[in-house]
Amino acid sequence: MKIVGLITEYNPFHNGHLHHIQEAKRITGADAAIVVMSGDYVQRGVPAIMPKRLRAEMALKCGASAVFELPVCYAAGSAEYFATGAVSLLDSLGVIDSLCFGSECNDLDALNRIADILLTEPVRYSRLLKKYLKDGLSYPAARMHAVSEYSGTPDHAAVLSDPNNILGIEYLKALKKLNSPIVPFTIKRAGAHYHDRELSADNLSSASAIRSLLAYSGAALSTDRSGGTFENSSFSSILSELEDQVPSCCLELLKDYHRVSYPVYQNDFSLILKYKLLNKHPQDLIRYMDVSEELANRICSQLDNYFNYKQFCDLIKTRETTQTRINRALLHIMLGIKKEDVSEYMTGGLHYYVRLLGCRKDSEKLLARIAKKSTLPLLIRLAESGSLPRTGKKMLRNDILASNLYTSVVTDKYKTAYQNEYKQRLLKV
């Protein structure tokens, strides 16, 4: 049996994701697709628009055989941390033959050449990077210019300007660092651009556009209505607009769980974040991932001007710091993700368990093979975590806390029954 691995967020699941699953199986000749998916928080440093199990159910109904959760310290990390965490998790399963990811350029050779530069960091490249950083460019912009000048290939700058290309490069770096036998493949990202906020006429809209439309379905004080130019409309009309943009089974789930467990937005966590910040001094904040001394001081100096989560992110942003970096820094503070802990996870082997969120009912043989081949314990129920090493238990506690916090926000917003992570059952489709 040949198995392809997919690294995803499905925030939310749409036609482009279905295309990815189908094409990944086709071009790799795989019999099954195993997904590693972000949990309740995503790589942009914000909460997912809907809970992880709802997104996992969509994936399973659309062809994935099993969905594993990426620990939150990697899921909400920079592209490098996200890719390293996800690729190493797939590698640890011991059954993955290939990795297939979408990219804007669809040029594996170009992605590999850039990955080699970033991985080996030649002296001239490092000098160019420092020069552009000294000139005041943000790190992504400085890296883009340095790679282009070092390689003598202007096209490399364009490659590094697109988010899926950047993630693809990080996947390739991770495979090389791990010396993994997993073979990489890339397919061209179909349909709308990653950042497009308008629905696409070709029925392949971006997740950003779909989230923008769903923002008008929440009708609550904490709903984020930024982006997009959609007119205020009823949820039935929103579903009609999405009818051709998401698989039919996903449309049914969107209908069934609307205002039961989604939509969820950054501002729904506003009071939680402010509480965390009120209890911190700059010297405390620099312990958290993505928080520099300069950013810690700015957070504390601007705290009196805090009105809500998203507004505060905008307030403390500077030209040198990307919006995503600010989002991640504040999320790490809220979730308690510290530099020393992540460093301990990384040096200790990156992962200590593989947590299964859901699977198809016909995947018993596949799961049995994973249980036999995996270098890590297969965690199906949290009650099975007692034998994990101390560091593994700490990582799992952080995952559980992050999920319970998300669930608490959902239950408060929609007045639904609370169910903590220990009571959640394995999803089977």
pLDDT of residue 200: 78
Confidence of residue 256 (pLDDT cuts 50, 70, 90): very high
Q: How far apart are CA 79 and CA 91, in angstroms?
A: 18
Q: Is there a domain that residue 64 lies in?
A: no
- Domains: count for the chain: 2
Lowest mean pLDDT among 55-59, 319-323, 384-388: 319-323
Residues of the domain holding 143 = 109-161
Q: Is there a domain that residue 379 lies in?
A: no
Q: 199 versus 150: which is more confidently predicted?
A: 150
HSE toward the beta carbon, residue 19, CA cutoff 13 A: 17
CB distance 13 to 205 below 8 Å = no
Mean pLDDT within 348-364: 96
Q: Is there a domain that residue 257 lies in?
A: no
pLDDT of residue 136: 86
Query: Which pTM was predicted?
Result: 0.93
Q: 80 versus 220: which is more confidently predicted?
A: 80
Confidence of residue 196 (pLDDT cuts 50, 70, 90): low
Binding-site entries for ATP: 7-20, 102, 164, 189
pLDDT of residue 138: 82
Q: Is there a domain that residue 390 lies in?
A: no
Q: Are strands 66-70 and 354-359 parallel, antiparallel or unpaired?
A: antiparallel
Query: 358: which strand partners?
Result: 67, 427
The answer, yes or no, to whether residue 300 has pLDDT greater than 70, is yes
CB distance 224 to 176 below 8 Å = no
Counting residues of the chain whose pLDDT is more than 90, the rounded percentage is: 84
pLDDT of residue 189: 82
Among 300, 315, 340, the domain-final residue is 340
CB distance 104 to 169 below 8 Å = no
Binding-site entries: 7-20, 102, 164, 189
Q: How far apart are CA 287 and CA 293, in angstroms?
A: 9
Counting residues of the chain whose pLDDT is more than 70, the rounded percentage is: 94
The answer, yes or no, to whether residue 137 has pLDDT greater than 90, is no
Q: Is there a domain that residue 327 lies in?
A: yes
Dig out the tokens for 353 from the structure. 């368990």
Q: Is there a domain that residue 24 lies in?
A: no
Confidence of residue 218 (pLDDT cuts 50, 70, 90): low
pLDDT per residue as tens digits for the range 24-65: 999 999 999 999 999 999 999 999 999 999 999 999 999 999
Instruction: Tell me the H-state helices in 94-162.
Output: 108-120, 123-134, 139-151, 155-159
Residue 321: DSSP 8-state = S
Q: What is the mean pLDDT of the chain?
A: 92
Q: 154 burial class (0-12, 13-18, 19+ CB within 10 angstroms)?
A: exposed
The answer, yes or no, to whether residue 228 has pLDDT greater than 50, is no
Among 310, 340, 370, the domain-final residue is 340
Query: 66: which strand partners?
Result: 34, 359
pLDDT of residue 201: 76
pLDDT per residue as tens digits for the range 156-182: 888 998 999 999 999 999 999 999 999
Confidence of residue 358 (pLDDT cuts 50, 70, 90): very high
Backbone angles phi, psi at 58, to 5 degrees: -60, -45
Amino acid at site 201: A
Lowest mean pLDDT among 68-82, 206-220, 306-320: 206-220
The answer, yes or no, to whether residue 393 has pLDDT greater than 90, is yes
pLDDT of residue 382: 93
pLDDT of residue 217: 64
The answer, yes or no, to whether residue 219 has pLDDT greater than 70, is no
Q: Is there a domain that residue 156 lies in?
A: yes
Handedness of CA 82, 34, 350, 101 (dihedral sign): negative
Strands (E), 198-285: none
pLDDT of residue 319: 82
Among 314, 340, 366, the domain-final residue is 340
Q: Is there a domain that residue 286 lies in?
A: yes
Residue 384: DSSP 8-state = G
pLDDT of residue 220: 45
Residue 396 burial (CB count, 10 A): 19
pLDDT of residue 87: 98
